[in-house]
C-alpha cells in the first residue's frame, strides 16, 4: 500500500481494486479553490469525456470519488499537522491579532432533505461542533431572558442584531458564522440554526479570544452586541475576559447606523485600530457563498468536510499572496497618511482654526455623542420637537444679531462657542454637520490621521 501511495496513487478500496491518481485529487482541490461553484458531477463528467477520448472504458463512480477524495485530503491535513502546519492561523498577525472580524453568512445554508448518517472527517476542525454550540446557546438562554425582535439603529433595522430567531422550515443549517483576521484569513466558523443571534459571535469570540490575543472584535452590530455582552458578563464569569477586547463597528456598516452610534462605535474612531475596516469578512463571505451552490444539496458531514477543504484552500491562497499584499498595503498606507495629514493642515489653515480648537471640537462632539440625556431617550416626541423648535428659533435670532456685528469667520467661531456653552442638541448637530469632515479627520487625535474610507478599498488581495 505504501508503495502505491509513494508512486502517486490512492487506493479507493481496501484491496486496492480501484486506484485514483493523486494528480486527479490535487487538480480537483485546486479547481474547487479557484471556482468554488464547480460541482463534483461537473468535474467527473469532464474526466469521463477526457478518458473516453484517450481510450479508457468504464464508468466513474461519483460517491467513491468523493469518499476517496475526502480520505486523501484528510490524510494530507493530518500529515501537515504533524509537520506543525497551522491551517487556521494568520502568519502576519499571530500571536497578537489586532482585530477579529465576525459576520454571519446566510447563503451557506443546507436543505434538510439530504440525509446521511456518516461522521465528518473534519469534525470541529474549522466549523465548531454543533453540540458544543447548542450547549453554549442553551446556557446563555438559562442565564438571561432574551428579548424578541430585531435591533434598530439609525434608520436601519439590523437582522443580525437579535437575541432570538425562529427556524426556517425547509433548511437544516441556515448559514455559517465566520471569524477572520484583518488580513482575511479564516480562523473559525459555526453553523447557524436560528438566524443570526448574538450568541453565535459570542461563542466564536469566547473560543478565539485567548488563543489570538485579539484587541478588537469587529461586527456590523457592535453597538447592540457589546452592551449585550456586558450584561451577560455580570452573570457569566467565564465571559468576563472577553471584555478585555474592544468593540469595533465595521466602517462601512457604521454609515447606516445613527450619527451618534457612528461617532462612538465606528472603527474609524477607535484609537490604535489603524486602517482596519472591519469589513474583511465580507470578501471571505462572497467566496463562501459561491461554495454554497454545491454544499446546499450535500449531507451534513459532506458539507462540513467540503467547507473545511474550501477554507483550507482559501487560507493557503492568502498565505501565498500575503508578502505581496502586505508590502503594497504598507506603501499605500504611508502615502495616504502623508496626503491626509497635509489635507488636514491645509483645511485647518483655510478655516483659520488652530489645533487646540479642533481638538476641543472633537472632544465636544464625542461628549455629545455619548450623552444620552439630551433628548434622545425622551419618549415624549412632542416635547422633544417643541424644544428643538425653540432652540432653532433662538439660534437663528442669535445668529442674525451676531452677523450684524462681526465678520463672517469670527461670527462662526463665536457662534460655535455659544452653541457649545448652550450644550444644545440641535445646535451641536448643526455644528457637527458643518464641520463634519474636519472633525472626523481628527478622531482620534494623538494617533496617526485616520484614512477616509473608500468603498472596497481594502480588497487589495
Q: At closest approach, how far in Å is the CB of 201 from Zn ion?
A: 15
Please say which residue, 133 or 221, places its beta carbon nearer to Zn ion.
221
Between 274 and 293, how does the x/- string for binding to Zn ion read (CB under 5 A)? --------------------
Q: How far is the CB of 221 from Zn ion (least distance, A)?
A: 7
Q: Which stretch binds Zn ion (CB under 5 A): 71-79, 175-183, 328-336, 430-438?
A: 175-183
Nearest partner of 412 among 349, 334, 358, 351, judged by Cα: 351
- Reported as type and span, the H/E element at residue 150 is strand 150-153
Contact residue for Zn ion among 70, 137, 153, 273 (CB under 5 A): 153
**Angle, CA 408 vertex, CA 402 and CA 412 arms, to 5°:** 65
| Cβ atoms 399, 412 nearer than 8 A | no
314: cell is 482559501
* 181 lies in the site for Zn ion, by CB under 5 A: yes
Residues 172, 193: Cα–Cα separation, whole Å = 7
99 is a contact residue toward Zn ion (CB under 5 A): no
Nearer to Zn ion, 181 or 208 (CB): 181
Q: Check binding of 24 to Zn ion (CB under 5 A).
A: no
| DSSP line for 354-382 | -HHHHHHHHHHHHHHHH--TTTTT---HH
**Residue 268 contacts Zn ion per CB under 5 A:** no
The least distance separating Zn ion from the CB of residue 318, rounded to whole angstroms, comes to 9
Beta carbon nearer to Zn ion, 224 or 441: 224
Instruction: Work out whether 192 is an interface residue with Zn ion (CB under 5 A).
Output: no
Q: Which is nearer to Zn ion, 93 or 178 (CB)?
A: 93
Round to whole Å and give the CA distance between 443 and 445: 5
Q: Give the 3-state secondary structure of residue 8.
A: coil
**Binding piece for Zn ion, criterion CB under 5 A, among 166-174, 261-269, 294-302, 327-335:** 261-269
Kindly state the smallest distance separating residue 153's Cβ from Zn ion, in Å.
Answer: 3
Cα–Cα distance, 433 to 427 (Å, whole number): 10
Binding of Zn ion by 223 (CB under 5 A): yes
Q: With respect to Zn ion, which residue has the nearer C-beta, 68 or 219?
A: 219
Window of 16-24, 168-176, 194-202, 258-266 that interacts with Zn ion by CB under 5 A: 258-266
Q: Which of 106, 110, 162, 183 binds Zn ion (CB under 5 A)?
A: 183
Nearest-approach distance from CB 234 to Zn ion, in angstroms: 22
Query: Which are the contacts of 50, defined by CB distance < 8 A and separation ≥ 6?
Result: none
Supply the minimum distance, in Å, between the C-beta of residue 90 and Zn ion: 3
Residue 236's CB is within 10 A of a number of other CB atoms, namely 17
For residues 269 and 251, the answer to whether their CB atoms sit within 8 Å is no
Cell (9 digits) for 5: 501511495
Q: Is-contact 197 163, C-beta < 8 A?
A: yes
Secondary structure of residue 92 in the 3-state scheme:
coil
DSSP codes of every residue in 147-167:
--SEEEETTEEEEEEES--PP
On whether the CB atoms of residues 120 and 73 are closer than 8 A, the answer is: no
Q: How far is the C-alpha of 75 from the C-alpha of 77, rounded, in Å?
A: 5
Question: Mask 228-257, x = binds Zn ion (CB under 5 A)?
Answer: -----------------------------x
Which residues, numbered 32-91, are part of the site for Zn ion (CB under 5 A)?
Answer: 90
For Zn ion, the closer CB: 44 or 153: 153
Phi, psi of 191 (to 5 degrees): -80, 135
Tell me if 261 contacts Zn ion by CB under 5 A. Answer: yes
Residues that bind Zn ion (CB under 5 A): 90, 92-93, 153, 181, 183, 223, 257, 261
Amino acid at each position: 500500500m505504501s508503495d502505491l501511495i509513494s508512486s502517486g496513487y490512492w487506493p479507493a478500496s481496501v484491496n486496492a481494486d480501484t486506484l485514483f491518481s493523486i494528480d486527479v485529487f490535487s487538480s480537483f482541490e485546486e479547481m474547487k479553490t479557484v471556482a468554488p461553484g464547480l460541482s463534483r458531477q461537473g468535474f467527473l463528467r469532464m474526466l469521463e469525456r477526457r478518458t473516453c477520448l484517450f481510450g479508457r472504458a468504464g464508468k466513474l463512480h461519483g460517491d467513491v470519488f468523493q469518499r476517496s477524495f475526502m480520505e486523501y485530503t484528510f490524510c494530507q491535513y493530518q500529515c501537515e499537522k504533524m509537520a506543525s502546519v497551522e491551517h487556521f492561523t494568520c502568519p502576519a498577525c499571530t500571536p497578537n491579532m489586532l482585530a477579529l472580524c465576525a459576520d454571519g453568512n446566510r447563503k451557506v445554508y443546507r436543505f434538510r432533505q439530504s440525509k446521511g448518517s456518516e461522521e465528518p472527517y473534519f469534525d470541529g476542525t474549522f466549523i465548531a461542533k454543533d453540540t458544543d454550540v447548542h450547549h453554549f446557546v442553551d446556557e446563555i438562554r438559562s442565564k438571561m431572558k432574551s428579548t424578541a425582535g430585531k435591533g434598530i439603529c439609525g434608520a436601519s433595522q439590523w437582522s443580525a442584531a437579535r437575541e432570538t430567531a425562529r427556524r426556517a422550515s425547509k433548511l437544516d443549517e441556515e448559514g455559517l458564522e465566520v471569524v477572520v483576521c484583518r488580513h482575511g484569513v479564516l480562523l473559525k466558523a459555526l453553523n447557524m440554526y436560528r438566524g443570526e443571534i448574538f450568541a453565535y459571535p459570542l461563542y466564536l469570540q469566547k473560543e478565539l479570544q485567548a488563543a489570538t490575543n485579539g484587541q478588537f472584535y469587529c461586527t456590523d452590530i457592535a453597538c447592540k452586541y457589546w452592551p449585550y455582552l456586558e450584561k451577560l458578563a455580570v452573570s457569566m464569569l467565564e465571559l468576563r475576559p472577553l471584555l478585555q477586547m474592544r468593540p469595533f463597528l465595521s466602517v462601512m456598516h457604521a454609515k447606516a447606523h445613527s450619527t451618534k452610534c457612528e461617532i462612538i462605535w465606528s472603527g474609524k474612531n477607535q484609537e490604535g485600530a489603524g486602517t482596519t475596516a472591519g469589513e474583511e469578512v465580507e470578501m471571505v463571505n462572497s467566496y463562501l457563498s459561491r461554495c454554497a451552490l454545491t454544499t446546499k444539496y450535500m449531507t451534513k458531514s459532506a458539507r462540513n468536510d467540503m467547507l473545511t477543504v474550501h477554507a483550507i484552500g482559501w487560507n493557503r491562497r492568502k498565505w501565498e499572496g500575503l508578502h505581496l499584499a502586505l508590502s503594497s498595503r504598507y506603501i499605500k498606507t504611508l502615502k495616504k497618511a502623508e496626503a491626509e495629514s497635509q489635507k488636514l493642515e491645509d483645511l485647518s489653515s483655510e478655516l483659520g482654526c488652530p489645533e487646540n480648537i479642533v481638538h476641543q471640537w472633537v472632544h465636544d462632539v464625542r461628549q455629545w455623542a455619548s450623552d444620552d440625556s439630551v433628548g434622545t431617550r425622551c419618549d415624549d416626541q412632542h416635547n422633544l420637537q417643541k424644544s428643538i423648535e425653540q432652540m432653532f428659533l433662538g439660534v437663528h435670532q442669535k445668529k442674525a444679531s451676531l452677523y450684524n456685528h462681526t465678520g463672517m469667520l469670527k461670527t462662526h467661531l463665536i457662534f460655535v462657542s455659544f452653541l457649545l456653552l448652550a450644550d444644545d442638541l440641535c445646535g451641536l448637530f448643526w455644528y457637527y454637520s458643518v464641520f463634519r469632515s474636519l472633525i472626523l479627520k481628527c478622531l482620534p487625535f494623538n494617533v496617526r490621521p485616520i484614512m477616509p474610507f473608500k468603498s472596497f478599498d481594502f480588497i487589495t488581495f
